[in-house]
Amino acid sequence: MYLIRRYAIDEQSADALLQWLKPYEDFTYRQVGDWQALAGLSLKKSMLPKASSQYAQDLIDKMVLLIKEELHHFYQVLEVMAEQGIVYEKITSSRYAKGLLRHVRTYEPEAMIDKLICGAYIEARSCERFAKLAPFLPQRIADFYISLLRSEARHYQDYLSLAQQIAQADISERVAFFGVIEAELITTPDADFKFHSGVPQ
């Protein structure tokens, strides 16, 4: 959502995007509303690309689809939690994404390219961890994780292809740079046990 609002759409479209996501954010961060009501929500307005951006439409097309899929996954997780009698609780984010984003360059379009590469790592690592965990879980959850990892695999490729398109040059050196940072984040001791955390302390 941040990438679309920051780089791709006009102000009216940005407001429409915020309104669409408000019920999700109210439930997620403020625990306001009923999670079952999230099922019927959809984006009513087309996103209008900024005229000044040559890559805005591609960014909108890929990221709006990604947002829709991630919100659907969130709803599916809430369904599974309800089935298992697990109460939703708000938790803080892990050090993982923050640790990656700390190394994003501060000037454009390099900042955007770096953010997309970070997004690719987050999705790819999710994909790997779903695959590693699935064989050890009850069948219902294992099947769900397998379905999620297929989406995550496509998402990380979308992030990388956008980064490559915007850079208009080889990004492999920058991908490798973030690879070193990401490797440290997942192999060093971590006191906060989350899906993307490092080695449990």
> pLDDT tens across 109-127, in order?
999 999 999 999 999 999 9
Q: What is the dihedral of CA 29, 32, 35, 40, to 10 degrees?
A: -100
The per-residue pLDDT for 65 is: 86
Block mean pLDDT (10 aa), the chain, length 201: 86 88 90 87 77 81 87 92 91 92 95 96 94 94 91 89 93 98 96 92 88
The per-residue pLDDT for 64 is: 86
Q: Is the pTM of this model over 0.85?
A: yes
Cβ-contact 123, 152 below 8 angstroms: yes
Pull the structure tokens for residue 31.
């625990």
The per-residue pLDDT for 5 is: 86
Pull the structure tokens for residue 153.
């695999």
pLDDT digits (tens, 9 = 90+) for 28-42: 989 898 888 888 787
According to DSSP, residue 46 is labeled P
Position of tokens 């492999």? 172
Q: Which of 15, 13, 72 is CA-nearest to residue 39?
A: 72
